[in-house]
Amino acid sequence: MIVLILEDDDTKYSHIKATLLGDISDCIIRRSEYFSKFVIESSKDKFDLIVTDFLVPMHKDTTELYEVTQDIIGTIRDIESPNFSTPVIAITGFSDVAEQNYEQFNRLDINIIHYSEDSNDWKDAFLLKIKNSLPPKKYDFVIFCALEKEAEAFDTLDCTVGQLNCIQGLSCRTIEVNDKKGVIIVPPRMGLVNAAITCSRAIDTFSPELICMSGICGGIEGKANIYDVVISEMCHQHDAGKWTSEGFLPEVYSVQVPHETHVLINQLIKEPNFKTNIASGIILKRSEFPTDLEELNFNIIIGPTSSGSSVIASEEILESVKAQHRKHASFEMESYALYEAARQSSNKNLRYFSAKSVVDNGNELKSDNFHRIACILSAKTVYELIASGV
């Protein structure tokens, strides 16, 4: 939190500063002892909170105090000011000045608190306003998981994962990868709609450098086998289009992974130790071995994928999906929403990718036997990619 304080009195400033730091230890405070300096500071930079007095010197090296009430309004609440919407608290020991300006300041969302050096009553109101002014915490990266079991797979990794918590209305777990801080988010429900809403909110709230997806998916037979981790080179919505008397006519709009991200991921997964690191420490139960296999066997591949609003458990529907792209590797229900949310984000440098592990081939023979291992493989792949600089 970055706070600008306009205050010439050293004792009063010390009380305000101590109160701020007592509640927010990492708070950054910048002080203006006179009004002309305050104008420069507030016009140049955006602050999370502004604290001001009514009577201060106009210029450096002067002791005469001026009532700057209207000047403060003209400076901060000018629509061109970077602090036009910044919360403002006026802390003053002059009750008559406060009463004269209360109504006008209230209309402009500027709170007035009466200060007394001999009393701590002003602190409670000040601390309440501080808490309401705290900006959302920023994270370096966001990992999106459609299911709780996909998110819980990160608990098996050698990293610090926090407890389930509600941050800005989102169901989150914090996670640290090397020196980067991130958050794992699970939406209220699976599917494209909830994924799109949750990913968009996460991007706006946490301003990450990277948003990615971990979890399980269906694989196209002949292109991806059970446990293969498929990284979406490009993704589209396979159930977008038009139903006609002749059947379903798909309307395909693909979103690609950013070129630099694609090149880096492709380079990393081809390194000799990358796949070995992913497989290390994973032990399968008897029921978790695919047919005719006696050891963990998987590949990490990059290929076209798709998302849809419904689970596919039909050969007929699967054939329709396969026909949309001859190199189609996998399908699931959320990646396209994340890619589109990232593409439309105001942050044009935002990186994004999805890495999901195959648990079935989209036919009637579905089972949960492979979910645990697939969730871990996907989580470890995402973790290693983030740790390697993606």
DSSP string, 249-297: EE----EEPPHHHHHHHHHHHTSHHHHHHHHTT----GGGSPTT-SS--
User: What was the pLDDT predicted at 310?
Assistant: 65
The DSSP symbol for 87 reads -
What does the chain come to in residues? Answer: 390
- In a 13 Å sphere around the CA of 365, the CA atoms on its Cβ side amount to 7
| Interval 99-128 mean pLDDT | 78
User: What was the pLDDT predicted at 23?
Assistant: 81
Strands (E), 57-169: 66-67, 88-92, 110-114, 141-144, 160-161, 165-167
Q: At what angle do helices 371-387 and 272-279 cross, to 10 degrees?
A: 140
| Interval 385-390 mean pLDDT | 94
**DSSP H or E stretch at residue 29:** strand 28-32
User: What was the pLDDT predicted at 104?
Assistant: 73
278-286 CB contacts, 8 Å cutoff, 24+ apart: 278/229, 278/377, 278/380, 278/381, 278/384, 282/373, 282/376, 282/377, 284/373
For the record, the structure tokens of 169 come out as 């209305």
How far CA 238 is from CA of 130, 249, 344, in Å, comes to: 47, 10, 20
User: What was the pLDDT predicted at 176?
Assistant: 94
Digit-coded pLDDT (tens) for 190-210: 899 999 999 999 999 999 999
For the record, the structure tokens of 25 come out as 């230890």
Sign of the CA dihedral with 188 first, then 190, 195, and 197 last: negative
For the record, the structure tokens of 302 come out as 């990059």
Q: Nearest to residue 215, comparing CAs of 359, 341, 339? A: 359
The neighbouring-strand residues paired with 166 are 171
User: What was the pLDDT predicted at 125?
Assistant: 81
User: What was the pLDDT predicted at 98?
Assistant: 58
Digit-coded pLDDT (tens) for 26-62: 789 999 999 999 999 999 999 989 999 988 999 998 8
Q: Nearest to residue 387, comparing CAs of 268, 279, 260, 270? A: 268
Mean model confidence pLDDT for the chain? 87
Taking a C-beta distance cutoff of 8 angstroms, is the pair 240, 312 a contact?
A: no
Cα radius of gyration rounded to whole Å, the chain: 28
* The domains spanning 2-133 and 188-387 adopt the same CATH topology: yes
User: For residue 63, what pLDDT band results from cuts at 50, 70 and 90?
Assistant: confident
Q: CA-to-CA distance for 273 and 282, rounded, in angstroms? A: 15
The one-letter code for the residue type at 29 is I
User: What was the pLDDT predicted at 101?
Assistant: 66
2-133: what CATH class? alpha beta
User: What was the pLDDT predicted at 315?
Assistant: 62
User: What was the pLDDT predicted at 282?
Assistant: 94
Least confident of 39-48, 82-91, 110-119, 255-264: 110-119
Tell whether pTM > 0.85. Answer: no
Q: CA-to-CA distance for 285 and 254, rounded, in angstroms? A: 38
| Interval 365-375 mean pLDDT | 86
Q: CA-to-CA distance for 7 and 218, rounded, in angstroms? A: 62
Pairwise pLDDT comparison (271 vs 136), residue with the higher score: 271
Pairwise pLDDT comparison (131 vs 103), residue with the higher score: 131
User: What was the pLDDT predicted at 316?
Assistant: 57
User: What was the pLDDT predicted at 245?
Assistant: 75
Domain ranges of the chain: 2-133, 188-387
| Interval 218-239 mean pLDDT | 90
Does the 188-387 domain belong in CATH 3.30.1160.10? Answer: no
φ, ψ (nearest 5 deg) of residue 301: -130, 155
In the chain, the percentage of residues whose pLDDT exceeds 90 is 54
Digit-coded pLDDT (tens) for 276-330: 999 999 999 999 998 888 889 999 999 999 988 766 555 656 566 656 556 788 8
User: What was the pLDDT predicted at 386?
Assistant: 97
In the chain, the percentage of residues whose pLDDT exceeds 70 is 92
Least confident of 49-53, 168-172, 248-252: 248-252
Taking a C-beta distance cutoff of 8 angstroms, is the pair 82, 50 a contact?
A: no
Place of tokens 């009532």: 67
For the record, the structure tokens of 84 come out as 């036009």
Q: CA-to-CA distance for 98 and 90, rounded, in angstroms? A: 9
User: What was the pLDDT predicted at 321?
Assistant: 61
User: What was the pLDDT predicted at 158?
Assistant: 86
Q: At what angle do helices 259-269 and 371-387 cross, to 10 degrees?
A: 110
Asked if the model's pLDDT at residue 188 lies above 60, the reply is yes
Digit-coded pLDDT (tens) for 128-164: 878 777 777 789 999 999 999 999 999 999 888 999 8
Give ∠ CA 170-172-178 in degrees, rounded to 5: 140
User: What was the pLDDT predicted at 87?
Assistant: 87
The one-letter code for the residue type at 308 is G
Q: CA-to-CA distance for 244 and 76, rounded, in angstroms? A: 58
Least confident of 255-259, 328-332, 375-379: 328-332
